[in-house]
């Protein structure tokens, strides 16, 4: 009898472990599918920019070959698997919309410290994020409550035109994925999250028109 009870308990624990493995695999598969799809959309957006401005941004195609590659390695990969899965659930419920500030779309709104650290690592390690170009990266725009309400607006004026172009391709890809527009995102974040120079704002406007 005891052996039978033990065997049953062992089987139950085994099923729990197997279910967890399936769930983890599902999360990983979705993360890889979504991340690779995003990269493809960024590359397609970059191609549109190059088609419109071949002489000015001919190097952009090569630049986006490694777009978001850091998300596929630690310390970003494991936290981003969880972040991406949570976005999936939020989108299913209609609770994920960066334009309207709904969902855990910004580092300051993440629940786990390792997730905040991963997003901070990402924006400080990739040239298409304004934070990458800060002299003092400790000033990256991360708040413990909400990145949009940080003490200071990040000065993006050192960001070169090529990085700006990749940033716009990134915004265009996100807009296509979420059903928003890159222009809406720019209007939401300029002079709140990031401050751009007059030249940069003119460039951003030109590049946004490629997708309008």
pLDDT higher at 7 or 195 = 195
Helical H segments across the chain, by residue range: 2-52, 54-57, 60-63, 77-93, 113-125, 161-178, 182-189, 198-209
Cβ-based neighbours of 70, under 8 Å, separated by 6 or more: 76, 121, 122, 125, 126
Q: Which tokens in the block code for residue 206?
A: 């030109």
Task: Report the distance separating Cα 175 and Cα 172, nearest Å.
Answer: 5
pTM given for the model = 0.83
Q: What is the pLDDT of residue 200?
A: 98
Q: Across all residues in the chain, what is the average pLDDT?
A: 85
- Give, as one character, the DSSP assignment of residue 69: G
User: Tens of pLDDT along 85-133?
Assistant: 988 888 888 877 878 877 755 544 556 778 888 888 999 999 999 999 9
The total number of structural domains in the chain stands at 1
Domain of 34 in residue numbering reads as 2-209
Q: Is residue 49 within 8 Å of residue 207, measured between CB atoms?
A: yes
* Angle at alpha carbon of residue 178, lines to 85 and 199, rounded to 5°: 120
């Amino acid at each position: 009898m005891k052996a039978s009870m033990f065997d049953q308990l062992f089987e139950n624990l085994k099923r729990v472990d197997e279910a967890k493995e399936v769930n983890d695999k599902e999360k990983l598969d979705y993360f890889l599918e979504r991340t690779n799809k995003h990269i493809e959309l960024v590359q397609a957006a970059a191609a549109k920019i190059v088609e419109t401005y071949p002489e000015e941004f001919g190097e952009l195609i090569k630049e986006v070959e490694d777009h978001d590659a850091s998300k596929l390695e630690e310390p970003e990969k494991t936290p981003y698997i969880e972040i991406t899965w949570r976005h999936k659930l939020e989108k299913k419920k209609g609770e994920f919309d960066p334009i309207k500030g709904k969902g855990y779309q910004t580092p300051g709104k993440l629940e786990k410290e390792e997730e905040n650290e991963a997003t901070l690592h990402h924006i400080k390690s990739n040239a298409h994020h304004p934070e990458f170009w800060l002299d003092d990266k400790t000033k990256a725009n991360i708040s413990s409550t909400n990145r949009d309400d940080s003490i200071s607006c990040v000065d993006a004026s050192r960001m070169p035109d090529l990085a700006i172009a990749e940033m716009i391709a990134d915004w265009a890809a996100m807009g296509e994925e979420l059903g928003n527009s890159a222009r809406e995102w720019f209007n939401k974040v300029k002079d709140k999250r990031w401050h751009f120079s007059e030249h940069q704002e003119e460039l951003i406007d030109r590049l946004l028109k490629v997708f309008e």
